[in-house]
Amino acid sequence: MLSIKTANKKNRTFDAIVIGSGMSGGWAAKEFTQKGLKTLVIERGREVKHNIDYPTTHMFPWEFEHLGQISEKIKKENPIASKSYIFKEDAMHFVVKDKEHPYVQAKPFDWIRGYQTGGRSLLWARQTQRWSDYDFEGPARDGFAVDWPIRYKDLAPWYSYVERFVGIAGDRDGIAALPDGEFLPSMGMNCIEEYFKKNVTRHYKNSRHVISGRCAHITENRDVFIKQGRSKCQFRNLCQRGCPFGGYFCSNSSTLPTAMKTGNLTLINDSVAHSILYDDQKEKATGVVVIDAKTKEHTEYYASVIFVNAGSLNSNLILLNSKSKRFPNGLGNDNGLLGKYVAFHNYRGRITAEYNGHLDKHTTGRRPTSAYIPRFRNVFKQETDFLRGYAAGFGAKRKIIQKTDGIGQELKNGLLNPEYGNWYVGSHMMGETIPKEKSRVSLDPDKVDEWGIPQLKINLEYDDNDDKMLKDFFEQFTEMYKKAGFKKIQTYDTKQAPGLDIHEMGGVRMGKDPKTSLLNKWNQFHNCKNVYVTDGACMTSTSTQNPSLTYMALTARACDHAIKNFKKDN
């Protein structure tokens, strides 16, 4: 039996509650507070203030005890977290350690999380691409999952709305499968990336494209950014430490401070969302049960509208744990689909090569993006033995050779006067995986975490479609590399478990029919209209694009709908 704090209910009653302060939660906070709603944001992790709680942001490599790497002791203590590229000495304090929030792996899954103000928005790779109708229409056309209840035209104005506030660097490339957006000047490509682009265009007659990676970095000062207290990207490429300039977008530097300025935001940290309260008589959700992460005290908070933005899998966990007489199997779960049809992105494929041309040039600086190759397989018609397709990154840099012979002045000269070798090029795939009913998360019947909440049991794996897609990626990129004259081509299957992509999606999917989906076109529960889910949990399919921009656009759109309903009801 929970011991609930019930005194001072008025002080714990708000217009809106947002669970989670990350990418989508920060946007919900901004939208609600700017429209005058008293809003509570519940964050399970510690407080991290912009430009105050970034302890490593100005450190030089030699100031780290292990020159930026993690010790063997820490690696052994964190076999899951240490697999992530983020988990290094400069940013591991923003990543959940393995023992801090255990979960059950029915199949291998590396769950990378960030529990603090801003969540993983501090740590994301900042790549931002819009979806097109080829993505939204994919399930209906290809016969998997269920049809999306929206199309590109429904989200296009909200993409623009978000992009203008966030700041997206990119080019207008005119690609049907990758709509253009509201762009700041792009970061451009280096000479080898431009060479590869021209080569691909020539050999594939504009059916394949190499473009500058669209990224959430400010490359031009504008009033909208100055009002947020943000300035241009400094090309440090130390983003995972937290950016003191606000050069890249995160909740901490952008949406949350904007919401705080309104005077309508209350943000509580170290507050673990246990479940959503449902009133059988009122037939709606009334609030959220929260556990103090340190004292374990339970408190109820109340609101007219609730947004669930805890991160895809944690949102599933909270909703599955939100049981009532009306919903004994989890909030809104009449059809038994809650936690099912979860998917992710397939990042297993890598391909590298060398190129000995353009030896009169080299790169300088630290550009925080790369070139990008949008999906080109099965876009306009089905042409392979697998469904859907993949996008890929592409980057090039010169090998730097430093001589380490000798001692004293000879060694110093060797280190300070490096020589350049051939160009090194590499690509990684980002493949769309197919949501399946057996791909699911559920509550473990026996194991609980330290707050008494059932641990999440994760059951996800690759399938034959993923293997065929990986094989095609290797074949197609080997062909493109050869046509470009690249040598020493090598392919790698990393065989990494799902999860390291950090793009888990689904479990609370959108759809048209309450029998086959949980959310409607406004991200509302079909049968609990004052609860919305707008993080990755709401996704019906995954496409190949990095998903965060779509989460933000869906959130802004859903908030607009919720605010209009709220004011109408009042």
**Quick one: average pLDDT of 334-359?**
97
DSSP string, 111-148: -----BTTGGGGT---B-----HHHHTHHHHHTSS---
Whole-prediction pTM? 0.96
**Quick one: average pLDDT of 27-40?**
98
Rounded Cα distance, 340 and 362, in Å: 49
Among residues 420, 561, 433, 540, which one has the least CA distance to residue 136?
540
The pLDDT of residue 542: 98
| pLDDT for residue 190 is more than 70 | yes
The pLDDT of residue 568: 84
| pLDDT for residue 110 is more than 50 | yes
List of long-range contacts for 374-381, beta carbons under 8 Å, 24+ apart: 374/129, 374/175, 374/177, 374/178, 374/209, 374/211, 374/544, 375/177, 375/178, 375/432, 375/544, 376/177, 376/204, 376/207, 376/208, 376/209, 377/472, 377/476, 378/142, 379/134, 379/176, 379/177, 380/134
The pLDDT of residue 317: 98
In the block, tokens 């494209």 appear at 209
**Quick one: average pLDDT of 54-69?**
95
**Quick one: average pLDDT of 540-554?**
98
The pLDDT of residue 4: 45
The confidence band for 7, taking pLDDT boundaries of 50, 70 and 90, is: low
Query: Which tens digit of pLDDT belongs to each residue from 202-255?
Result: 999 989 999 999 999 999 999 999 999 999 999 999 999 999 999 999 999 999
Query: Which tens digit of pLDDT belongs to each residue from 251-305?
Result: 999 999 999 999 999 999 999 999 999 999 999 999 999 999 999 999 999 999 9
The pLDDT of residue 3: 40
CB 457 within 8 A of CB 103: yes
DSSP string, 211-274: EEPPBSB--S--HHHHHHT-----S---GGG--TT--B--TTTTHHHHHHHTT-EEEE-SEEEE
Helices (H), strands (E): how many in the chain? 12, 23
Query: Which tens digit of pLDDT belongs to each residue from 501-530?
Result: 999 999 999 999 999 999 999 999 999 999
The confidence band for 2, taking pLDDT boundaries of 50, 70 and 90, is: very low
CATH number 3.30.70.260 given to 4-49+113-170+214-344+504-569: no
For residue 525, the 8-state DSSP code is E
**Quick one: average pLDDT of 426-451?**
98
441 half-sphere exposure, CB direction, 13 A CA radius: 31
The pLDDT of residue 415: 85
**Close Cβ partners of 314 (under 8 Å, ≥ 6 residues apart):** 20, 44, 113, 456
| pLDDT for residue 395 is more than 70 | yes
The pLDDT of residue 570: 59
The pLDDT of residue 206: 87
**Quick one: average pLDDT of 59-83?**
95
The pLDDT of residue 1: 30
CB 554 within 8 A of CB 534: yes
| pLDDT for residue 6 is more than 90 | no
**Close Cβ partners of 443 (under 8 Å, ≥ 6 residues apart):** 317, 320, 321, 454, 455, 456, 457
Query: Which tens digit of pLDDT belongs to each residue from 455-508?
Result: 999 999 999 999 999 999 999 999 999 999 999 999 999 999 999 999 999 999
Q: Which of 54-63, 207-216, 296-305, 395-404 has the lowest mean pLDDT?
A: 395-404
Show me where the domains of the chain are located.
Answer: 4-49+113-170+214-344+504-569, 186-212+345-432+464-497
| pLDDT for residue 442 is more than 80 | yes
For the chain, state the CA radius of gyration: 24
Q: Which residues pair with 457 in a beta bridge?
A: 104, 442
The confidence band for 546, taking pLDDT boundaries of 50, 70 and 90, is: very high
| pLDDT for residue 5 is more than 60 | no
pLDDT > 70 in the chain, percent: 99
The pLDDT of residue 364: 83
Query: Which tens digit of pLDDT belongs to each residue from 354-373?
Result: 999 999 998 888 999 999 99
| pLDDT for residue 316 is more than 80 | yes
The pLDDT of residue 221: 95
**Quick one: average pLDDT of 54-64?**
96
Mean of per-residue pLDDT scores for the chain: 96
